[in-house]
Amino acid sequence: MSDKKLHPVQSLQGTVRVPGDKSISHRALIVSAIADGACRVSGLSTALDVQSTAACLKALGVKINKAKDGVIVHGVGMHGLQPPRKALDAGNSGTTIRLLAGMLAAQNFTATITGDRSLRNRPMRRIIEPLELMGARIDSDDFKAPLTITGGPLRAIDFASPVASAQVKSCILLAGLFARGVTRVTEPYHSRDHTELMLQEMGANIHSSEALAAVIGPSELHARDIDVPGDISAAAFFLVAGALLPNSTLVMENIGVNLLRTGILTALTSMGVNYQINDQVELNREPRATIAVKSATFRATTLGGAMIPRIVDEIPILAIAATQAEGVTTIKDARELRVKESDRLAALAANLTKMGAKVREKEDGLIISGPTTLHGAELDSYNDHRIAMAFSIAALIADGETTIKNVDCVDISFPGFYDILESIIHDER
């Protein structure tokens, strides 16, 4: 794995186009795979996580062909998946393993799905229990991957998820497509709704309101072409960078602005950052727009409660922003970050401390005092793409050289991140 050396810069200028939304890309592939015909998916993310989903679907007998600006998925219908010849490999992708588990629970064969070392340590009880309530049999070691799923006829359930997780909700809804009756999922807070919107787009009888989602099964899905907007979680790094660096202006085109994903914008507003949203349109029920941001002076804020599911992927870069905010920023109710690709709360606290930030780690969050002058340091990515990218932005405002170890992990979600970053650096020194 490679290391990355970064230095402070004067400003950032330019127009940015980020990869297709990773969450929507996963769902476009999975839902298209069980539709009744060919679906063209444009703007598909090239992230390694999404490639893992595509590889698993191919192993289940789904043909996926490259096409201009995306792929064509030849859907096999609700009951056309084939038994895989070997264990399915979800790589580092929690979305892949959890969503595919919902589909596999309804098949008339047994399949095993696993992943890399990080994924094999992530919690799977949260999907195993509801799927077993629906009638599937899932064998695992201490509720961790690999999961061996013996599918069959499923029954509808009412499930109260203890966590607000779009992956858990989507897993159950996908299984509910095959079950007779109404499958309902409630959450403590409303998580992102890309699965619900895409299932509606393809003809499923599905309803959602606030923290409740329900699907009536059995359903049939009808092939529809899908256009994937740019990933706002990827754009978040540049939104914060453009606001942090003096004399900077960045424009991000075709960014998905689903209201359950725009928590980053709400958070930045609470921190005193102004931005503009222009040219908003809607395709496949997903809104997208151009977002422009300029340099700003940050103020402290509190992030917690129902806001957390809307910013769960953006907390690492918001923690960097908090180091430059006037006052004490509190991040709470974010215990879920401890079971991501890394323990993100611990990783953030460790690296921020190395850079001289004033940070206190709590069980469910962080307390960060600012503004603080950061200094360059040797940092660990913890093989976590969002940690690597967040501290790459921190390096741009730090004094001296920063080295981030093992940055290859960035390709998990954002291939080309460093090329884009280099292209917008404006430095006349």
List Cα–Cα distances, 110 to 88, 105, 138, 417, in angstroms. Answer: 11, 9, 9, 39
Q: Cα(429)–Cα(412) distance, rounded to whole angstroms?
A: 33
Q: Is the dihedral of CA 138, 192, 382, 406 positive or negative?
A: positive
Establish whether 313 is a catalytic residue.
yes
Q: Are 108 and 152 in contact (CB under 8 A)?
A: yes
Nearest in space to 149 (alpha carbons), one of 174, 117, 184, 166: 174
Q: How would you class 1 by CB atoms within 10 Å of its CB: exposed for 0-12, middle for 13-18, buried for 19 or more?
A: exposed
Nearest in space to 248 (alpha carbons), one of 396, 142, 113: 396
| C-alpha gyration radius of the chain | 21
Q: Cα(190)–Cα(166) distance, rounded to whole angstroms?
A: 9
Q: State the catalytic residue, choosing from 49, 193, 227, 313.
A: 313
Q: Cα(303)–Cα(334) distance, rounded to whole angstroms?
A: 9
60: which DSSP letter?
T
Catalytic center residues: 313
